[in-house]
Amino acid sequence: MNFLFAERTRKFWRWIYTTISLHPKQLVALVLITVCIGMLLWRHSRTIHVLVAPDSFQDAEISFFALGDQGRGNHRQRKVADMMEAVCQQDRDVNFTLLLGDNFYGNGVRSVDDPKWLDQFELTYNAPCLRGMPFYAALGNHDYIGNPQAQVAYSQKRLGSARWRMPSSFYMQDFGSFNNRILIRLVVLDTNQPIPEQLELIQRAFKNPEDSIWKMAAGHHQIRSFSSKYGDSQQLIDNLLPVLRKYRVDMYLCGHSHNLQLITRAAEPLYVISGAGGARIRKIKNDTTGSLIYRAEQHGFVKIEATPDDLRIQFIKSLKEERQIYTVTRACLRGVNKAKCFNEG
């Protein structure tokens, strides 16, 4: 954006010197006018004007990106954003992005006017394909160092490009439809706050098993993880996992571990960890249980494709490598040994 401002200013002065001759006082006045115009151009170049498609999501197939720990505003975040745009352009089927928390390092945002909104969200994900989709977001621990309510207000007021979706700190959203059933019902949790206060939402979302074909929950913190720093969370195992098991939630998505993992446990949701959106990568410990299906200590993101019959989980960490894809059928997922359900492709 600074390049755009400089280029416009250079062309203007070249025109001045080659076409007209000015008195010194006139030249000073013109310089001041140019500075004012330049500031207006710079502000305009950083303003995002986007028409986002409405969140109707009535298709029988839904695809979305999922990533967390992305809000660094650095070259790593931009690299992942570039990969997301390339995949979005190539596949042409991505409906939305799910952000899994730590949206703004290192201390969140102060207000809806914080410059981080531009640098770490609006301009980072402003390529043509990404700018046409909504971004649903969860709150992470770094977001709570700042003003988490500002992220809710940014959504409620539809500020910026109006792509940011966080109607409250925890909420429910439906995606897709098939045979009068919701394809995906997603509950986004605030794992920074006490889980018991959010159980009513989980119960309301999942108490009727016929409402939705796929039941998903998401939050920033991990329930299960093989990360060297953040392993299994006993607090969430005690307070969140029992209710997810009770209502037979199919998948739990999270970040926080700063890497990519796919974990399966008997009678538990699939655990998709996508915390490699821009923060420094953390090591993954060796698995002796046989439950770690996939691991990657690289920056990247996940793409989820849902149909009425199966889920395709794609781990994407480089445009030069083939995607690691795992397909699991709905029938097999309801069985005991999920580890045998996955077909790689």
Q: What is the pLDDT of residue 339?
A: 63
The reply to whether 281 falls in a domain is: yes
The reply to whether 51 falls in a domain is: no
Residue 271 token pair: 């655990």
Q: What is the pLDDT of residue 18?
A: 53
Show the domain range for 9. Answer: 2-45
For residues 156-182, one letter each, b for 16 or more C-beta atoms within 10 angstroms of the residue's C-beta and e for the rest, the string is eeebbbebbbbeebbbbbbbbbbeeeb
Predicted confidence (pLDDT) at residue 40 exceeds the cutoff of 80: no
Total domains present in the chain: 2
Cβ distance 174 to 146 under 8 Å? Answer: no
Q: What is the pLDDT of residue 16?
A: 54
Does one domain contain both 209 and 293? Answer: yes
Is the torsion defined by CA of 126, 130, 135, 139 positive or negative? negative
The stretch 48-73 carries a mean pLDDT of 79
Q: What is the pLDDT of residue 3?
A: 40
**CA–CA gap between residue 216 and residue 229 (Å, rounded):** 25
The reply to whether 134 falls in a domain is: yes
- CATH at 309: 3.60.21.10
First to last CA, the chain: 41
Predicted confidence (pLDDT) at residue 262 exceeds the cutoff of 90: yes
Instruction: Say how far residue 93 (Cα) sits from the centre of its chain.
Output: 16
Does one domain contain both 9 and 129? Answer: no
The reply to whether 291 falls in a domain is: yes
- Which residue has better confidence, 203 or 15? 203
The reply to whether 54 falls in a domain is: no
Q: What is the pLDDT of residue 331?
A: 81
∠ CA(191), CA(220), CA(331), 5° rounding? 100
For the ranges 15-24, 123-132, 246-255, the lowest mean pLDDT is seen at 15-24
Q: What is the pLDDT of residue 20?
A: 55
The reply to whether 234 falls in a domain is: yes
**Model confidence over 84-124: pLDDT tens digits?**
999 999 999 999 999 999 999 989 999 999 999 999 999 99
Q: What is the pLDDT of residue 51?
A: 47
For residues 80-112, one letter each, b for 16 or more C-beta atoms within 10 angstroms of the residue's C-beta and e for the rest, the string is bbebbbebbeeeeebbbbbbbbbbbbeebbeeb
Q: What is the pLDDT of residue 341?
A: 74
Residue 293 token pair: 């299906």
Mean pLDDT, the chain, whole residue set? 87
